[in-house]
Structure formats: C-alpha cells, structure tokens
C-alpha cells in the first residue's frame, strides 16, 4: 500500500486556479447531466413556475484519497453481503422475531410488518425479489492502529441512490485529471494526483443490469391476450434528484430496450391495477398520456416509500400493499426493506450469542465470513442486559458513539455528548428504537473543497463515506438467479457536520484516488 497523502493534499489553489476549476465544473456538470433541480428554499416555485431550472449536483473539486486494500475488500465483500441480505429477507421467521421486538415502539416498522402479514395471509404470488443494494463504509483509523480498516456504516436495501450521478463524478474528475490532453494542468501538479485516475465506476451498468435481469426473469405476460411488459419506477413528487434516477432508465431503454415508466407515489393506485379475475395478479399500468395502451409491470423499482414521510395517509399504505401483493417483482419487497433496518445490523454484529452469519452464509467458507465480520463496527442495543445502556448513558463512553434510529433514510442520528440527555428524555421502553454504534474514527487530515448546488464554495476538513453497489435477484426458495457487485459512491461531508445526505446539501458527491 502506498503512503497515505499527507496534509499537503489537496494542493493549494490560487484564486485564479480555483475560479478556473469552479467554472469548468459548473459547465461540465450541466453539459453531462450531473445535475439536480434547485432547492425551493433557494429558487422558490414562484420564480421557476414551470420547473425548468437545474443546477450542478453538489460535488467536490478534488477526488479523495482512499486506501486500495479497503476499496478492494469492500468490493470483494459485496456479493457476500448481497447473499447475506437475500438470505435474511428469505427467513421470515428469524426476521419476524426481531421485528416483534420493534413493532410496539416503532410505528413505521410496525406498519411495514403489517403490510407483509396481510399479503402473506392472502398468499404471495411472486417468489422472486430484487435487491439493488449499497453497502456504506468509512475508513477506521484510530490513533495508534496498524493501518486503516473498513467499517460498515449501513447497508441500504431500498432506494439506494446516487449510482447515476456518482459515475458521472468519477468521469468528471477523470477528465479534469487528464485535461488538457497530453499535458494535464487543470489541477496543480501534486505527487498524489499526477498520472492517477479514479477506478472505473460501472454503477449505472450494474444497477440497470439488475433491473433488466428481474424483467427477464418475470417471464411472459400473464393476461390473455398478452400485454407489453415494462419496468415501473415509483418516485417521490418533485424529486430534485431525478437525474440520478434517469441515468438508470436511460440505460434500460437504450441498451436493454426495456420500456420504463415513472409514477409518483400518490398515483400508484390510480395508474395501476390488478385484475380481480386473474389469480396470478399481474400489475397493470395505464399511462395517463396514452390511455389506449395497457402495460404489464414486471418489476417495481421503489425510489419512494422508504421513509415514514412517504406515507401521508392510509391510501399510501394501501398503494404499498397493492404493489406487494401483485405479481410484479418488487425492488425491494417489504421483507427486504425491513432487513436493512439498523437493528438487524446490530444483531449481526453482536459478538455474543448465535453465529447468524455462518447460518445465513452456509455455502461460504469461514475465512470469507470472518472477513465480512471484520467490516462490522461495534454496535449494541439498549436492552437492560447488554453493554449498550452503560456505554450510552456514561458521557465519557457516549463521546465515542452515535445513536441511530432503526429507520432508513438518515437525518435523525444523535451524536456523542447529546446521547445521555436524549435517552433520559424518554421512557426506556422506547429505547428499543435505537442502536448504539461506536463512532468510526476516520483519518483526520483529509481536506477538500466543495461546490454546492447554489454555487457556494466551502473548504475544510472532510469525512468520506464509500458505498459499494450490488444487485441480487433471488427466489424465496433460496435460488440465486443473479448476484453482481459493481459501481461505487463516494460522499464527502464537512467534518463539523455529523449528518449526511447529499441531496440535502450537507454533503457532496466525490470520487476516489486509490493509494
């Protein structure tokens, strides 16, 4: 492994150099669709009444250093992780036991579980599930450690985003590094950058191929006469991150020749139906713009329905139930979504107790399982018996921890000294909603400069988070039809900020240079 770049990285920029880089990036992002719709807090709807304006996605000026052994290990583990989570989602009994503990304290998990129970009661008609997963890691390098290691931050089983834009950031940094051709000088010369390129980032290819595999596995149309087949993206209204999603549909359409439609959450019940007379329950889509053509949905790709705010009324829960009970392959199913909750990660990481990993990965040898286990950060529940309560309530140990809710989507973490007070503000019966995780200590020297979507430029110390994309298509009988790793996401945020989420403007899309 090469030397970690020291505090001389990134190279300092003169004002002119920074202006040139920023201006190049502002133009490159728009020319290549590395874009988002502007936030309404910046550009009110009254200004952009027809919703045509766009701006650059938040991006870093420089790619970030990342240790090659950690990158390689994260990639090597992805198909194992895919398999692990497919196995968890297929083991309703095991998953159910954990969910039972949560349903009386977490309304959201409880509601999701009820959707699954209702469909199970009626009987599932689709044995296949599709996962477009992203496993997120940080580099753990506490003072005095032998070298950097990889620690998983979370495993995303629903709406794993930024595959589309992330591969564009890698292309942009690659172009800046090699520009102008033959005599690169867009960045100032620096030993860590000269001659280097980010690794290939086939996120769009991988994620699209996963959706295409599900589409193919669905088989022929179920109604008679047969209908044309399509993939349906279920999306949020006024999605600002739409160009990330369109990167996948563009490839599905142009390369795989698969029709793709988009429907917003609130219109699922209006635009799709399941014919009552057909026991195989095909999901029929009726485009509003071409009411004479019916389509049959092979695969439902959720870029909504992942957070409590996506369910505004019972009608939205009905819509989710409707999709779940249909013959369409759900990406993800309710069980797959639930398998991504923080509690599952904590149970898997639990050093004491049953060896869940070996059980779920019975086909894998123990060395692989040990390597997977090495990527877990220490985490604990807050039950009366474990170590979690003690670590969380003592301010000295709390200082090295983060308290995470079970829910997907981020934005609600409690950090360090805030943990004891926060916990004491509620009844300890509610503590089950939370998982305590040891904070990952990422390298302290890293710096970068960020161009936000409103054009503001920020420089400072940063923390990076690497996501690896993977897709898996499996049958609930345990058969795996497709299992691939491919593509990555680097997100970089200011060190002073403890919470992520690129679309919210707090963190930025980045790429990596391996060392």
| Dist. CA 107–CA 306, nearest whole Å | 14
Active site residue 484: no
Distance (Å) of CA 509 to CA 62, 388, 440, 450 = 11, 33, 20, 9
**Active-site pick, 33, 96, 386, 409:** 409
| Dist. CA 232–CA 25, nearest whole Å | 33
Q: Which of 438, 400, 441, 434 is nearest to 417 (CA)?
A: 400
Which residue from 3, 6, 41, 52 is in contact with a copy of itself, where contact means CB under 8 A? 52
| Cβ-based neighbour number of residue 16 at 10 Å | 8
| Cβ-based neighbour number of residue 172 at 10 Å | 24
Active site residue 134: yes
Active site residue 353: no
* Tokens linked to 381: 């529940």
Residues numbered 13-42 forming contacts with a copy of itself, rule: CB under 8 A: 14, 16-17, 19-21, 26-27, 30-33, 35, 38
Active site residue 404: yes
Residues numbered 108-147 forming contacts with a copy of itself, rule: CB under 8 A: none
Residue closer to a copy of itself (CB basis): 50 or 424: 50
Output DSSP code: residue 378. P
Residue closer to a copy of itself (CB basis): 30 or 370: 30
| Dist. CA 130–CA 442, nearest whole Å | 33
Which region holds residue 478: left if phi is over 0, alpha if psi is between -120 and 50, else beta?
Answer: left
Minimal distance, residue 136 CB to a copy of itself, in Å: 26
Beta strands in 94-189 (DSSP E): 128-140, 149-156
Residue closer to a copy of itself (CB basis): 31 or 497: 31
* Tokens linked to 251: 């490839």
Minimal distance, residue 78 CB to a copy of itself, in Å: 27
Which residue from 193, 230, 357, 437 is in contact with a copy of itself, where contact means CB under 8 A? 230
| Dist. CA 36–CA 240, nearest whole Å | 6
Annotated binding site: 134, 154, 156, 158-161, 239-241, 245, 303-306, 342, 404-413, 415, 437-440, 465, 491, 493, 499, 502-503
Minimal distance, residue 56 CB to a copy of itself, in Å: 6
Minimal distance, residue 366 CB to a copy of itself, in Å: 46
Cβ atoms of residues 173 and 63 within 8 Å: yes
509, containing H or E segment: strand 507-510
Annotated binding site for ATP: 154, 342, 404-413, 415, 437-440, 465, 493, 499
| Dist. CA 484–CA 473, nearest whole Å | 9
Residue closer to a copy of itself (CB basis): 142 or 455: 455
Annotated binding site for substrate: 134, 158-161, 239-241, 245, 303-306, 491, 502-503
- Within 8 A by CB and 6+ apart from 208, the residues are 248, 251, 252, 255, 256
Instruction: Tell whether residue 46 is a contact of a copy of itself (CB under 8 A).
Output: no
Residues numbered 274-333 forming contacts with a copy of itself, rule: CB under 8 A: 287-290, 293
Active site residue 37: no
Annotated binding site for Mg(2+): 154, 156, 408
**Active-site pick, 56, 90, 149, 154:** 154
Q: Which of 238, 294, 284, 228 is nearest to 259 (CA)?
A: 228
Which residue from 183, 352, 367, 385 is in contact with a copy of itself, where contact means CB under 8 A? 183
Minimal distance, residue 41 CB to a copy of itself, in Å: 13
Can you state the angle between helices 68-90 and 366-374, rounded to 10 degrees? 110
3-state secondary structure of 494: strand
Instruction: Tell whether residue 55 is a contact of a copy of itself (CB under 8 A).
Output: yes
Residue closer to a copy of itself (CB basis): 166 or 453: 453
Residues numbered 261-280 forming contacts with a copy of itself, rule: CB under 8 A: 261
Task: Please work out the total of residues on this chain that contact a copy of itself, with binding judged by CB under 8 A.
Answer: 57
Stretch that binds a copy of itself, among 3-11, 70-78, 82-90, 452-460 (CB under 8 A): 452-460
Residue closer to a copy of itself (CB basis): 26 or 364: 26
| Dist. CA 312–CA 477, nearest whole Å | 34
* Tokens linked to 298: 């092979």
Catalytic residues: 134, 154, 156, 161, 342, 404, 408-409, 491
């Amino acid at each position: 492994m090469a030397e970690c770049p020291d505090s001389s990285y990134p190279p300092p920029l003169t004002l002119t150099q920074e202006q040139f880089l920023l201006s190049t990036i502002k133009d490159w992002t728009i020319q290549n669709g590395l874009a988002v719709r502007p936030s309404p807090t910046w550009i009110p709807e009254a200004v952009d009444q027809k919703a045509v304006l766009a701006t650059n996605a938040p991006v870093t000026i420089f790619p970030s250093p990342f240790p090659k052994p950690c990158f390689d290990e994260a990639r090597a583990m992805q198909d194992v992780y895919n398999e692990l989570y497919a196995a968890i989602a297929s083991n309703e009994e095991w998953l159910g036991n954990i969910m039972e503990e949560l349903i009386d304290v977490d309304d959201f998990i409880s509601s999701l579980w009820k959707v699954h129970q209702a469909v199970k009661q009626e009987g599932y008609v689709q044995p296949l599930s599709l996962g477009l997963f992203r496993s997120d890691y940080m580099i753990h390098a506490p003072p005095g450690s032998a070298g950097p290691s990889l620690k998983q931050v979370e495993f995303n089983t629903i709406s794993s985003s930024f595959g589309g834009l992330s591969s564009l950031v890698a292309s942009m940094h690659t172009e800046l590094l090699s520009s102008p051709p033959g005599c690169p000088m867009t960045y100032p010369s620096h030993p860590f950058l000269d001659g280097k390129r980010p690794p290939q980032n086939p996120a769009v290819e991988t994620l699209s191929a996963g959706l295409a595999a599900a589409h193919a596995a669905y088989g022929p149309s179920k109604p008679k006469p047969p209908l044309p087949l399509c993939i349906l993206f279920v999306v949020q209204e006024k999605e600002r991150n739409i160009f990330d999603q369109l990167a996948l549909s563009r490839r599905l359409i142009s390369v795989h020749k698969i029709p793709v439609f988009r429907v917003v959450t609130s219109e699922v019940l209006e635009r799709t139906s399941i014919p009552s007379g057909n026991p195989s329950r095909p999901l029929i889509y009726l485009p509003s713009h071409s009411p004479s053509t019916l389509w049959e949905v092979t695969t439902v790709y959720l870029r909504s329905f992942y957070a409590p705010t996506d369910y505004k009324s019972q009608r939205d829960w009905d819509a989710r139930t409707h999709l779940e009970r249909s013959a369409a392959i759900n990406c993800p199913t309710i069980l797959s979504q639930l398998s991504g909750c923080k509690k599952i990660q904590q149970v898997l990481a639990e050093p004491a107790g049953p060896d869940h990993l070996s059980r779920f990965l019975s086909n894998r040898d123990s060395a692989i399982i040990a390597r997977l286990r090495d990527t877990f950060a220490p985490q604990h529940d807050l039950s009366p018996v474990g170590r979690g309560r003690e670590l969380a309530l003592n301010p000295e140990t709390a200082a090295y921890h983060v308290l995470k809710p079970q829910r997907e989507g981020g934005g609600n973490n409690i950090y360090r000294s805030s943990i004891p007070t926060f916990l004491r503000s509620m009844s300890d019966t509610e503590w089950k909603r939370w998982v305590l995780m040891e904070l990952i200590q990422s390298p302290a020297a890293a710096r970068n400069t960020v161009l936000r979507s409103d054009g503001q430029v920020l420089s400072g110390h940063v923390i990076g988070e690497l996501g690896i994309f993977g897709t898996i298509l499996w049958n609930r009988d345990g058969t795996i039809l497709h299992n691939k790793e491919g593509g990555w996401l680097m997100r970089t945020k200011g060190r002073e900020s403890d919470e992520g989420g690129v679309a919210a403007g707090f963190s930025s899309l980045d790429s990596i240079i391996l060392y």
